[in-house]
Structure 1
Amino acid sequence: MDGIGYYSKELYRNLASCAEVQQLMPVVFGSSGSSTLDGYQVKNLPSYRFEASWSAVSGMSFFGTSSMTSSIDIFHSPDHYTPRFKQIPVVATLMDAIPLSHPQWTSQRARKLKNWMWRKSGHWADHIVTISEFSKYEIVRYFGIDADKISVIPLGVDECYFERLSDDKVEHIVADLNLPDRFFLFVGTLQPRKNIERILDAHEALPPALRKETPLLIVGRNGWGADALVARLIANGSDGEIRWLQNVGELAKRVLMQRATALLFPSLLEGFGLPVLEGFASQTPVITSNATSLPEVAGDAALFVDALSVPALSEAMVTLAREEAVRRDLVVKGLSRARQFTWEKCARQTVQVYDRVLSTC
């Protein structure tokens, strides 16, 4: 599940427990494959691509609106599929503006057309929710949406990451993955802006003994634009100083997070950077970038580096591998920082946005 899917699932689950929300109606563009979700009736609308194209050209609302006006007070689009409804207030979540601000770091398939449609559909919402002040600035700049129409609501951390896993849950995963006692860890989809090539370069620049003692584990599926990186990872094999773990389940991910010497997340560009908070909750020290949204999310609880500097990243890795006092300090700060971000809080703040939108429509 990608970040948008995870956000949609957690927001849906936590909105259902908010007293102010009387009922949820799941809406799916195209076929959902199911008539109900968690006991709620699923509303199916035609394909979003068809609906959006029609609306962009004609200026008309999406089809199916008339059948929803009597039963829906407000429509929330959490996944960039923002509809045009003239009789129903619309809130849309835009995680970031990366396809517009850095189109070279996104899939190039029909990119110009997708960006035009995405920018246009952003203006169909009565209000925008985004996940960081950095993303808000980017949306104002690249979508041309007034800052007063944008609310910042940070993401939450799943409570499961705070739970310390018992030995019986850990041992078989450690054995299955052949985990070393110490290792550096990256978690995320393989794509250019994740900066994984520099992570590999930084690890290879470590002193030979430290590199052997503390291998680098790359956890994540192949996304796009990473052919050279994939070839490099495969060439390193599955039991050397650099290892690529592609298909890791949620429990195994938590084991990796809790056992890592440090989590490496020196991304070049993030709208939020949820793995940083997951590392904090797992009581693992984190190395991350000193740019975009990451300082905003991490506060004073991470070791910050210039994401473009391999020597700086390598030096930070040496620090966390050898200086236990620094590790302990970051673990304490990180755990406290992660506690500030909950999905319940995210849902409550989202309901407050609904109230404001309804009071003005």
Structure 2
Amino acid sequence: MHIGIDVRLPFYQMGGISQYILHLLPALAALDSENQYSLFHLGRDGRSYTPHAAPNFQRKNVHTPSHHKLERWALGLELLPHRLDVLHSPDFIPPQWGGRRKVITVHDLNFIFYPQFLTQASMAYYANQIERAVQVADHISADSHATRHDLIEQLHVPPEKITTVHLAANPLYEREYEETAVSATLQKHNLPRDFILFVGTLEPRKNLPFLIRAYDELLQQGEIDVPLVLVGGKGWLFEEVFTTIDELGLHDKVRHLTGIFDEELAHFYHAAGVLVTPSHYEGFGLPALEAMHCGCLVIVSNRGSLPEVVGQAGMQLPLDDEVVWTDALRRVLTDSALRQKMITRGHDQAKTFTWQKAAQMTLEIYKDVV
């Protein structure tokens, strides 16, 4: 079987979808030495995402940029000569041609539920093409049961056409880290331990003004005085985050840091008192999973896939009352017995998500559609 996988997106951005691509490939290579894989890179991308010591995985160059307005047709024409049995499009939208069978991964339906939270470019790319994509796909891989349910309810996709394939964390978050290394990272960024942590792009869907107001109320109570650290780049429509900080006079309490990745981010998880994800909607929620691996408590909204990811290991809260979040923050930062119970549960919950399992289920999808 000749399987093609579109791996162009990491050239442009290293967000959640790119992380999915980069971790699925080596897991597939470890599992499958029989089928032939063509990994379609952007020609000008100097990096290679082809797994090492896997002769059945080969890099192939294409020239069509991701999210180009003519992508469906241009990429399709480039793929036709490769005579693929299966083409896997990890970024929702498959080309017009290029594989006898098409598999797509749908990560979320944010653009349907919250169109006001997206840029016009993102809306034009995803929302205007998703109905055709799910129709022409022979099978759909969904990141979560929540996304699978949304596909069935919102786009009327037959349930038998969708398989939930949970993501997993980068293996580096499963490692043990020396306390001296963690302390050095804290010193570098002038941070104390037990701070409140958010990880993700600053954009409306993440609901950060809500978190900042709940944090401000926590400070007003006077029992806890730790910084709120926002780790992630500025996305779109991020201005309200900093307006809220200005209005509440929290310049010296709320820190915004960018360029924190890999081992350094793992150090942040190990040192933080709690990770908070108050998102309106998530298709999966990798930071919560990463944090649980690192022994960091998690508080998440009860929306989308987040309850599915954290299970009984994290607090799941509604988004209709900031006071509930303030009280939860106070509890997890002061109740040592609760903290230990949540840390233990978090480790156990995180171990249930593996890239080996994701690769096995993905390979079964490839086999089933041919």
Name the TM-score, length of structure 1 as normaliser.
Answer: 0.89
Residue 62 of structure 1 corresponds to: 76
Equivalent residue in structure 2 for 1:265, among 273, 277, 281: 277
The answer to whether residue 60 in structure 2 is matched with residue 42 in structure 1 is yes
Instruction: Quote the Cα distance in structure 2 between the aligned partners of 1:76 and 1:203.
Output: 42
Whether the aligned pair in 2 keeps the contact of 1:99 and 1:115 (CA below 8 Å) is yes
Residue 333 of structure 2 corresponds to: 321
Distance 1:306 1:21, change over 3 A: farther
Instruction: Quote the Cα distance in structure 2 between the aligned partners of 1:33 and 1:344.
Output: 27
Q: For 1:213-267, what per-residue CA distance to the aligned partner results, in whole angstroms no more than 9, with x for missing partners?
A: x221111111111112134447889982221112223222111101111111121
Instruction: Quote the Cα distance in structure 2 between the aligned partners of 1:37 and 1:245.
Output: 28
Residue 6 of structure 2 corresponds to: none
Distance 1:37 1:254, change over 3 A: closer
Distance 1:113 1:314, change over 3 A: same
Whether the aligned pair in 2 keeps the contact of 1:285 and 1:327 (CA below 8 Å) is yes
The answer to whether residue 253 in structure 2 is matched with residue 241 in structure 1 is yes
Gaps of 5+ in 2: 1-13, 53-57
Instruction: Quote the Cα distance in structure 2 between the aligned partners of 1:87 and 1:75.
Output: 5
Secondary structure of the residue that 2:88 maps to in structure 1? strand
Residue 11 of structure 1 corresponds to: 24
CA-based RMSD of the aligned residues comes to 2.5
Cα drift, residue 292 of structure 1: 1.9
Cα drift, residue 305 of structure 1: 1.1
Residue 107 of structure 1 corresponds to: 119
Cα drift, residue 286 of structure 1: 0.8
Instruction: Quote the Cα distance in structure 2 between the aligned partners of 1:149 and 1:16.
Output: 25
Write the mapping of 1:67-216 to structure 2, written as runs, cut at 5 A.
67-69=81-83, 72-85=84-97, 88-109=100-121, 111-112=123-124, 114-206=126-218, 207-212=220-225, 214-216=226-228
Distance 1:50 1:182, change over 3 A: closer
Instruction: Quote the Cα distance in structure 1 between the aligned partners of 2:34 and 2:355.
Output: 16
Whether the aligned pair in 2 keeps the contact of 1:34 and 1:42 (CA below 8 Å) is no
Whether the aligned pair in 1 keeps the contact of 2:182 and 2:268 (CA below 8 Å) is no
The answer to whether residue 39 in structure 2 is matched with residue 26 in structure 1 is yes
Cα drift, residue 22 of structure 1: 2.8
Instruction: Quote the Cα distance in structure 1 between the aligned partners of 2:251 and 2:61.
Output: 49
Instruction: Quote the Cα distance in structure 2 between the aligned partners of 1:166 and 1:284.
Output: 16
Q: For 1:170-229, what per-residue CA distance to the aligned partner results, in whole angstroms no more than 9, with x for missing partners?
A: 2321111011132111111111111111111111101443342x2211111111111121
Instruction: Quote the Cα distance in structure 1 between the aligned partners of 2:140 and 2:319.
Output: 29
Distance 1:63 1:51, change over 3 A: farther
Instruction: Quote the Cα distance in structure 2 between the aligned partners of 1:237 and 1:35.
Output: 44
Query: Percent identity between the aligned chains?
Result: 26
Whether the aligned pair in 2 keeps the contact of 1:84 and 1:121 (CA below 8 Å) is no
Instruction: Quote the Cα distance in structure 1 between the aligned partners of 2:241 and 2:348.
Output: 35
Equivalent residue in structure 1 for 2:307, among 271, 295, 303: 295
Residue 346 of structure 1 corresponds to: 358
Residue 58 of structure 1 corresponds to: none
Whether the aligned pair in 2 keeps the contact of 1:153 and 1:349 (CA below 8 Å) is yes
Instruction: Quote the Cα distance in structure 1 between the aligned partners of 2:257 and 2:248.
Output: 12
Matched to 1:19, the amino acid is D
Instruction: Quote the Cα distance in structure 2 between the aligned partners of 1:351 and 1:237.
Output: 52
Matched to 1:27, the amino acid is F
Distance 1:114 1:167, change over 3 A: closer
Secondary structure of the residue that 2:120 maps to in structure 1? coil
Q: For 1:46-95, what per-residue CA distance to the aligned partner results, in whole angstroms no more than 9, with x for missing partners?
A: 4563555649xxxxx921344111xx331111122312337521110010
The answer to whether residue 288 in structure 2 is matched with residue 304 in structure 1 is no
How many residues align? The count is: 349
Instruction: Quote the Cα distance in structure 2 between the aligned partners of 1:326 and 1:249.
Output: 29
Distance 1:241 1:210, change over 3 A: farther
Secondary structure of the residue that 2:18 maps to in structure 1? helix
Using the TM superposition, name which of 228-237 and 256-265 deviates more: 228-237
